[in-house]
A and B are shown apart, each in its own frame.
Chain A
Amino acid sequence: MERKTKVNAVDGKQELMITREFDLPLELLFKAYEEPEIVEQWMGTKVLKLENKKYGGYHFETTDPLGNKHNFSGVIHEFNVNQRITRTFEMENTPFGIQLEFLEFEEVTDNTSKLNMHIVFRSVELRDQLLKLPFAQGINMAHNRLQEIVSKLK
């Protein structure tokens, strides 16, 4: 199967690009970012605030499988329907800092569209740390499992 989502992280640069082509008309793709109820569904998060306009902001709250709550928030600088969203992004209580996100929505054909997500970090180290997160979580699970095993032995 073709990999539709591409991640491009050039070595030594504090940015990354995520691109994805969708089997959806541009309007529907953009709507998935615009409507809070839809954002909640695909992001698996609770939308506490989503003000889609310049000077607006957003605040999401996600509950992980262990019941811990994680907050994501930012401010919106540009909100051009079916074109572009420019915003900051912060995962609160994490070391990743605040990121700048440029989301560009493009029509490819009447029924397909493309999203370019350009994310800028404060430093290369922070970017690399974030990229490793899902990988590290896998390794952490191993650690937890190990602890479980060890505690059973006691």
Chain B
Amino acid sequence: MDLRRDVFQAIADPTRRAIITLVALNAMTPSAIAENFDSSRQTISKHIQILTECELLRQEQTGREIYYHFNPKKMKEIADYIEPFRKMWDERFNKLETIMKKYKKK
């Protein structure tokens, strides 16, 4: 288990977010996903791998093809949607603190 695969890192990348958006609409094969991007198949397949490792996508074999499905449950569970909101305020308050510390020295 690779601890680097944190879901926020996974969705921090614009290409990976685009992949999630695509697959959320329709289960897709890796080649169908790659067709939507300018990047090389290898690059896209690396992104798919990361998304699969953090369980945002799951594989399903249908006949000879592997389809990637979006896993909304995982998205909900891990992405604790409040976290980006908290982070936004945290950054704002960090800024306040930095500014006022300088102000104090004046």
Contacts and interface: CB of A to CB of B under 8 A. Distances in A.
Interface of A: 3-7, 9, 18, 20, 22-25, 28-29, 31-32, 38, 41-43, 115, 130-135, 137-139, 141-143, 145-146, 149-150, 152-153
Contact of B82 (A9, A143, A146): A9
Contacts of A6: 86
A147 to B, nearest CB: 10
B: interface residue count bin: 20 to 34
Contacts of B21: 139, 142-143, 146
Between B38, B92, B100, B101, the greatest number of chain A beta carbons within 10 A of the residue's beta carbon is seen for B100
Interface of B: 11, 14-15, 17-18, 20-22, 36-38, 79, 81-90, 92-93, 95-97, 99-101, 103-104
Contact of A7 (B11, B17, B22, B86): B86
A120 to B, nearest CB: 16
Contact of A134 (B18, B36, B38, B85): B85
Tell me the interface secondary structure of chain A in the complex: helix
B90 A5 contact: yes
Given A4-B90, A139-B21, 11 more contacts: A23-B97, A24-B97, A24-B104, A28-B103, A28-B104, A41-B99, A42-B92, A42-B96, A115-B93, A133-B85, A142-B21
A149 B39 CA distance: 10
Contacts of A9: 82
B100 A3 contact: no
B50 to A, nearest CB: 15
Contacts of B103: 28, 31, 38
B89 A7 contact: yes
A41 B94 CA distance: 12
Contacts of A135: 79, 81, 83-85
A32 B36 CA distance: 47
Contacts of A143: 21
Contacts of A149: 18, 36-38
